């Protein structure tokens, strides 16, 4: 046994244990608005307590933890804590990566550890609706920055003729829409088009309707509680599925429903997490992030439904292509790639 390798591995364990506890600290910072408060300017722990109105002793330990992890900056000469411009953008700006909100999803799905442990014994599924509400809100916060960055500027323009159709006034079905961020973005960008978002999770649909009302697009987007196999409507110019196909128990049945709902010259935009078909090429930090989410959320949800596919969040392009072909689609291409996602253009 190589003791240097043992020490190196234990170093990784220490890093991971620290990250696990610190994830909870990030969520506390998000819920209490601590990052926004610190973005106002440098402060000692005492001054920060005066600024926020929270307990100084708790804040002191929180600030020290965040500084040790590189989420907060500490200046020994002044004993002040602060956020750099980059830290503030990522942690405190709701229009930025909003990573403090995204941590809510991780802490949320860890609440299901007892159910998942039992599922290992039984093989049973754990449905999306069975998770804590933090999962729904946190997942929306995790994915939304990527959708803001790429959906309208990159993914839709990469599709053959779709942007023009939507500009002139098209019909869009957004399947598995969750809290409706993608539906709202499309309604905002293409005011002449009409968007119908659907999700089987009633609570998410209710939140989506609130988001649409807050964005002032209620007349251009509507939401329904429906599965990917029974969403309403037909003759759609565009059907979209964002980071959801791999969560479905029977993605082929969903794909067949999409095909029947499309206009003759319609397009199905499928956005999935970026992944290689080869496992060894997914063994990196992003792959680790997605495999963890897949273990707690995606695979259990698909196993809770009829179908038995359980693709997982790192299914790879070949699996998505095979599903499209099984549903009768004849055209499939990788239209665009971003840091975390791949956008596929699929047509009849």
- Going residue by residue through the chain (348 aa), what tens digit of pLDDT does each one get? 999 999 999 999 999 999 999 999 999 999 999 999 999 999 999 999 999 999 999 999 999 999 999 999 999 999 999 999 999 999 999 889 999 999 999 999 999 999 999 999 999 999 999 999 999 999 999 999 999 999 999 999 999 999 999 999 999 999 999 999 999 999 999 999 999 999 999 999 999 999 999 999 999 999 999 999 999 999 999 999 999 999 999 999 999 999 999 999 999 999 999 999 999 999 999 999 999 999 999 999 999 999 989 999 999 999 999 999 999 999 999 999 998 999 999 999
Residues 22-25: contacts with CB under 8 Å, at least 24 apart:
22/65, 22/66, 22/69, 22/71, 23/103, 23/106, 23/107, 24/107, 25/62, 25/65, 25/66
The C-alpha atoms of residue 24 and residue 40 are separated, in whole angstroms, by 23
The token pair at 328 is 């009768």
Q: How many CB atoms lie within 10 A of CB 22?
A: 17
Tell which residue, 24, 13, 14, has the closest CA to residue 65.
24
Please, are residues 38 and 62 in contact by the beta-carbon 8 Å criterion? no
Angle formed by the axes of helices 99-110 and 285-293, nearest 10°:
50
């Amino acid at each position: 046994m190589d003791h240097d390798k043992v020490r190196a591995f234990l170093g990784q364990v220490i890093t991971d244990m620290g990250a696990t506890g610190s994830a909870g600290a990030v969520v506390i910072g998000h819920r209490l608005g601590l990052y926004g408060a610190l973005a106002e300017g440098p402060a000692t722990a005492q001054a920060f307590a005066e600024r926020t109105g929270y307990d100084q002793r708790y804040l002191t330990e929180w600030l020290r933890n965040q500084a040790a992890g590189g989420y907060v900056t500490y200046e020994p000469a002044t004993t002040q804590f602060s956020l750099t411009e980059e830290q503030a953008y990522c942690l405190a700006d709701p229009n930025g990566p909003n990573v403090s909100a995204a941590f809510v999803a991780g802490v949320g799905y860890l609440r299901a550890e007892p159910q998942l442990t039992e599922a290992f014994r039984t093989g049973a599924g754990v449905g999306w609706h069975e998770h804590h509400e933090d999962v729904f809100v946190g997942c929306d916060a995790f994915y939304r920055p990527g959708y803001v960055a790429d959906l309208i500027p990159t993914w839709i323009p990469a599709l053959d003729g779709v942007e023009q159709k939507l500009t002139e006034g098209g019909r869009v079905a957004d399947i598995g829409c969750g809290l409706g961020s993608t539906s709202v973005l499309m309604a905002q960008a293409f005011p002449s088009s009409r968007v119908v978002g659907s999700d089987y999770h009633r609570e998410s649909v209710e939140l989506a309707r609130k988001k649409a009302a807050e964005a002032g697009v209620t007349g251009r987007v509507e939401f329904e509680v429906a599965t990917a196999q029974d969403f309403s409507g037909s003759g759609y110019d565009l059907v979209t599925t964002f980071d959801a196909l791999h969560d479905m128990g029977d993605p082929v049945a969903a794909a067949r429903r999409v095909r029947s709902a499309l206009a003759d010259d319609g397009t199905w935009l499928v956005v999935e997490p970026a992944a290689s078909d080869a496992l060894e090429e997914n063994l990196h930090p992003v792959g680790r992030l997605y495999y963890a989410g897949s273990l707690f959320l995606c695979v259990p949800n698909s196993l809770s439904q009829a179908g038995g596919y359980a693709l997982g969040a790192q299914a790879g392009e070949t699996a998505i292509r095979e599903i499209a072909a099984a549903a009768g689609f004849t055209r499939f291409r990788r239209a665009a790639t971003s840091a975390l996602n791949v956008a596929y253009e699929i047509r009849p």
